[in-house]
Amino acid sequence: MTVRAKFRVASLRQQYIAEGVPPQEVIELQAVTDEANKAWSMYTPQGRIEMHITNPAAAAQFPVGRTFYVDFTEAPAVDPKP
């Protein structure tokens, strides 16, 4: 079963980890409660996703204010290495 939720990019900031290491773009997405997202937001009216991205081209795909659908599909379990 897949659950689809709609999220909006709420903020974008840079985070520096250490000298000589490129900064990370920290992207925060917040759940949208609108008619298109009604089935999901009726039972889960709040949510937040935070991503740390070091690839500038990938981070540029998430401008503040843009909305995205996020699909949650269960992944198969992976056995830990012995």
Put simply, whether the predicted model's pTM sits higher than 0.85 gets the answer: no
**pLDDT at site 17:** 81
For residue 12, pLDDT beyond 90? yes
Task: Say if 80 falls within a structural domain.
Answer: no
Task: Say if 67 falls within a structural domain.
Answer: yes
Task: Say if 79 falls within a structural domain.
Answer: no
Task: Say if 20 falls within a structural domain.
Answer: yes
3-state SS of the chain: helix, strand, coil percent to 5?
A: 15, 45, 45
For residue 44, pLDDT beyond 70? no
Q: Measuring CA to CA, how many Å separate 44 from each of 13, 22, 34, 38, 75?
A: 26, 36, 12, 10, 21
Task: Say if 61 falls within a structural domain.
Answer: yes
The number of folded domains in the chain is: 1
Q: Which amino acid is at 75?
A: A
Q: Place 70 in a pLDDT band, splitting at 50, 70 and 90.
A: very high
Containing structural domain, residue 29:
2-73
Distance CA 78, CA 13 (A): 33
Task: Say if 40 falls within a structural domain.
Answer: yes
Name which of 15-29, 32-46, 48-62, 68-82 the model is least confident about.
32-46
Distance CA 10, CA 27 (A): 8
Q: Place 15 in a pLDDT band, splitting at 50, 70 and 90.
A: confident
